[in-house]
Amino acid sequence: MRIVITRPDDGHLHLRDDEALRAVLPHSARQFARAIVMPNLRPPITTVAAAAEYRQRILRALPDGADFEPLMTLYLTDDTLADEIRRAVDSGFVKAVKLYPAGATTHSDAGVTDLGKCGAVFAEMEKAGMPLLVHGEVTDPAIDLFDRERVFIETRLQPLLERHPGLRVALEHITTQEAAEFVAAAGNTVAATITAHHLLYNRNALLVGGIRPHYYCLPVLKRETHRQALIRAAASGSPKFFLGTDSAPHTRATKEAACGCAGCYTALSAIELYAEAFEQAGALDGLESFASFNGADFYRLPRNKGSAILEKKTWVVPASLPYAGGELVPLRSGEPVSWKLLA
């Protein structure tokens, strides 16, 4: 069996830089026509000038003949000025601004400490229609890790949207029923990305039979009822939900450690994993709008012209890949995937 869909876009991708960028970029460029590229480098991409340089490094690292467009983002800090937002809008290549609550995840220490400090920036974004991409977790040590997304929505996101009702928001990599319900009920300025791993796995994958660091990401995998809610949202046909892999490479050594890094590497087999999740849900006919239309429409970009062919055919994900002087263990390493993206 084969299915043909319009070439998909990745609504949330970590490409890193330099040697790491060169190792992972070919995978995403094969899978996707475009990707929203996360700005959490060290130092973070906080200015349009830095985003322009990073974009050039990505374009130079593309394999010959690749057809892939990086869509750039700015990393919001307490010090970001409204002027930078105007420059971003004028640039044409900066498509969104990313909000990391300080300390929430990998390379987020320069993130926002208090949303109240960003009022002028949000007002400017609201005026210009520039999307805010939200890592939706509180960082309060008193809040249980598994509750951090729900509490963020109640105590931060809801009030933010009340202060800035016109702000266009993508709640990134949602992991809970509460997030799916919040986005579905919100105005049409609010959307969400969903990863393949949160559609395919619950927290048992991370913790049963031993700790499995390659299934550790942030926001962390949740219980099965949440996974089912995400599947329902992704397959609902609502234009508010779209594909964002959150593919986040780290070396094997930094993941298989006493304090392992957060991030799952899914770029190698992304669309195949999504196809599996949609097929399991009996919703394969909903894959194309989720993967290829809804994100483009949210970003007010033309839908892609080319197509991708997926064949129902089992293949085994490599055990590891070369990566920046080390090794990268892709999600599902050494295990079968039941769909194959044809060249």
Active-site annotation, residues: 246
Task: Tell me which of ligand NCD, Zn ion, none is bound by residue 194, counting a contact when its beta carbon lies within the kind-specific cut-off of 5 to 8 angstroms.
Answer: none
Assess 106 for contact with ligand NCD (CB under 6 A). Answer: yes
What backbone phi and psi angles, to 5 degrees, belong to 319?
-65, -40
Candidate ranges 124-132, 186-194, 241-249, 314-322; the one touching Zn ion (CB under 5 A): 241-249
E strand or H helix at 10, and its extent?
A: strand 9-13
Assess 248 for contact with ligand NCD (CB under 6 A). Answer: yes
C-alpha torsion angle, residues 102, 229, 312, 10 (rounded to 10): -30
Rounded to a whole number of angstroms, the minimum distance from the CB of residue 134 to ligand NCD is: 11
Rounded to a whole number of angstroms, the minimum distance from the CB of residue 65 to Zn ion is: 28
Binding to ligand NCD (CB under 6 A): which residues in 107-126? 107
Q: Among residues 73 and 294, whose Cβ is nearest to ligand NCD?
A: 73
Helix 48-61 and helix 82-91, axial crossing angle in degrees, nearest 10? 40
* Cβ neighbours around 11 below 10 Å, total: 31
Q: Among residues 58 and 310, whose Cβ is nearest to Zn ion?
A: 58
Assess 262 for contact with ligand NCD (CB under 6 A). Answer: yes
- Show the beta-strand stretches assigned E in 168-264: 169-171, 190-194, 241-243
Assess 246 for contact with Zn ion (CB under 5 A). Answer: yes
One-letter amino acid identity for 80? T
Candidate ranges 27-35, 44-52, 95-103, 242-250; the one touching Zn ion (CB under 5 A): 242-250
- With beta carbons less than 8 A apart as the criterion, state whether 106 and 129 touch: no
- With beta carbons less than 8 A apart as the criterion, state whether 315 and 284 touch: no
Contact residues: ligand NCD, CB under 6 A: 14, 40, 105-107, 135, 217-218, 246, 248, 262-263
